[in-house]
């Protein structure tokens, strides 16, 4: 594997491999871009089949975080970490060993939760590092990042529905929710309140059943979710679910969800466009979590976080209009939108002002 050539192609600045024999920790931290500020991104713990699979995931996720923070108007770069292992086998020793890894980066990377980690885990990690956000409110943190993520996904749906369907409300629309975990649950709360019709699926059959019962949703199988007729398909689980195999099966007008890296390849955005399906770029609409934890860096203020999150509606509209104007798919437009902000700030930082944060 020509790792340096790969990092150059993807634009990453730094990748750190960290192992601790005593605790069994095997972790990879990827820092993609720090032009706007320190890299912020969650820590994912997952039983990857191979180390190469773990590396692929962390590189993709770190890059997405750069674009997410830039599009959200945050002064933060993009990074991500993965711990290779079963999240049900976490230990204090392993989490503290990982905290030492984060601390060794001296603030270039700030971590929070992701798949396989919880806010309570951050309290343990924080015993070894200062660079943790998203801790429980009792520990001075902002708490569960999925709450605001659910809100920004909902706002993204509103913007997409206005563009694709010409409607100002989601009432009466049918939405297929793939993944009834934390983010999917909060998305369903907003949709149910507005009067949307819900269809739900999850690999955890019991979680899917609870969601169906709680929200009065129609329950379908894990594979069947791609085939249901609906107005909006909402991926809220793991990434890579939109690909050459699944896109031809979709029977929707809009794709908008909270999962990261929903497209398996860049070409999948074109596949959606060719089918007349409007794609609300994932890193634009699922930024509520990073907005929430970023507020901790300046002293957490819930009203300020909510106000910044509310801007996602206008940002989504702006990017969808940009895609139409430039005759490109929304994924390309969203990346260009973020890249333009990064380039503008990079130009600003070419000159040094004594006493400035940079």
Q: Does position 4 have pLDDT exceeding 90, yes or no?
A: no
Distance, in Å, from the CA atom of 143 to the CA atom of 118, rounded to the nearest integer, reads 10
Catalytic site residue from 68, 80, 151, 182: 80
| CA of residue 66 relative to chain centroid, distance | 11
Domains and CATH numbers, the chain: 3-65+76-135 (3.40.50.10860), 146-341 (3.40.50.720)
Please report the pLDDT score of residue 144 as a whole number.
83
Using alpha carbons, select from 136, 240, 99 the residue that is nearest to residue 179. 240
Tell me how long the chain is: 358
- Checking if the pLDDT of 202 tops 90, the result is yes
At 349 the pLDDT is 78
Q: Are 211 and 176 in contact (CB under 8 A)?
A: no
Q: Which carries the bigger pLDDT value, residue 41 or residue 115? A: 41
What pLDDT score does 357 carry? 66
| pLDDT at residue 67 is higher than 70 | yes
Q: What contacts 134, CB < 8 A, 6 or more positions away?
A: 42, 112, 113, 119, 122, 141, 142, 143, 145, 289, 292, 293, 296
- Bridge-based pairing of strands 197-201 and 218-219 is parallel
Mean of the pLDDT values across residues 307-326? 97
pLDDT of amino acid 115: 86
Gyration radius of the chain's alpha carbons: 20
- Is residue 138 within 8 Å of 163, Cβ to Cβ? no
* 218 neighbors 196 (Cβ within 8 angstroms): no
For the segment 267-315, what is each residue's pLDDT rounded down to a tens digit?
Answer: 999 999 999 999 999 999 999 999 999 999 988 889 999 999 999 999 9
80 is catalytic: yes
Q: How is the beta sheet containing 39-46 ordered, strand by strand?
A: 14-20, 25-33, 77-84, 39-46, 109-113
pLDDT at residue 16 is higher than 70: yes
pLDDT band at 143 (very low <50, low <70, confident <90, very high): confident
Q: In this model, does residue 318 exceed pLDDT 70?
A: yes
pLDDT over 70 at 244, yes or no: yes
Q: What is the pLDDT of residue 358?
A: 59
* Mean of pLDDT values over 190-201: 98
Q: What confidence score (pLDDT) does residue 140 get?
A: 87
Question: Does the pLDDT value for residue 183 go beyond 90?
Answer: yes
Is the pLDDT assigned to residue 344 strictly greater than 90? yes
Mean pLDDT, the chain, rounded, equals 95
pLDDT at position 107, please? 96
Q: What is the pLDDT of residue 5?
A: 86
Angle at 95 between CA 19 and CA 88, to 5 degrees: 100
Query: What whole-number distance in Å separates Cα of residue 45 and Cα of residue 62?
Result: 15
Contact between 232 and 176 (Cβ < 8 Å): yes
As a whole number, mean pLDDT of residues 237-249 equals: 94
Per-residue confidence band for 256, with pLDDT thresholds at 50, 70 and 90: very high
The predicted structure's pLDDT at residue 298: 85
pLDDT of residue 21: 96
Reported as a pLDDT band with limits 50, 70 and 90, residue 94 is: very high
């Amino acid at each position: 594997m020509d790792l340096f050539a790969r990092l150059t192609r993807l634009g990453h600045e730094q990748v750190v491999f960290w192992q601790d024999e005593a605790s069994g920790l095997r972790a990879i931290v990827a820092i993609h871009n720090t032009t706007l500020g320190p890299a912020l991104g969650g820590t994912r713990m997952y039983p990857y089949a191979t180390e190469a699979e773990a590396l692929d995931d962390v590189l993709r996720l770190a890059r997405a975080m750069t674009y997410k923070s830039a599009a959200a108007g945050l002064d933060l770069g993009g990074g991500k970490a993965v711990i290779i292992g079963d999240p049900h086998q976490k230990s204090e020793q392993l989490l503290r060993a990982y905290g030492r890894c984060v601390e060794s980066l001296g603030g270039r990377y700030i971590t929070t939760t992701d798949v396989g980690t919880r806010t309570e885990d951050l309290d343990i990690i924080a015993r070894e590092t200062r660079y943790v956000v998203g801790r429980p409110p009792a520990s001075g943190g902002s708490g569960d990042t999925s709450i605001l993520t659910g809100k920004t996904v909902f706002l993204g749906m509103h913007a997409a529905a206005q563009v694709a369907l010409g409607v100002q409300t989601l009432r009466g629309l049918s939405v297929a929710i793939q993944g009834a975990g934390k983010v999917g649950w909060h998305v369903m709360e907003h949709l149910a309140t507005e009067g949307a019709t819900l269809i739900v699926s999850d690999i955890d059959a019991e979680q899917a059943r609870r969601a169906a019962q709680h929200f009065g949703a129609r329950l379908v199988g894990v594979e069947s979710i791609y085939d249901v007729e609906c107005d909006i398909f909402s991926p809220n689980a793991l990434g890579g679910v939109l690909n050459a195999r699944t896109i031809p099966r979709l029977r929707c007008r809009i794709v908008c969800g909270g999962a990261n890296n929903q497209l398996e390849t860049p070409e999948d955005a074109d596949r959606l466009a060719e089918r007349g399906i409007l794609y609300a770029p994932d890193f634009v609409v699922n930024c509520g979590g990073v907005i929430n934890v970023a507020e901790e860096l300046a002293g957490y203020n819930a009203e300020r976080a909510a106000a910044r999150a509310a801007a996602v509606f206008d940002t989504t509209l702006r990017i969808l209009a940009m895609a139409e104007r430039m005759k490109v798919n929304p994924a390309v437009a969203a990346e260009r939108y973020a890249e333009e902000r990064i380039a503008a700030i990079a130009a600003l930082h070419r000159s040094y002002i004594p006493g400035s944060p940079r």
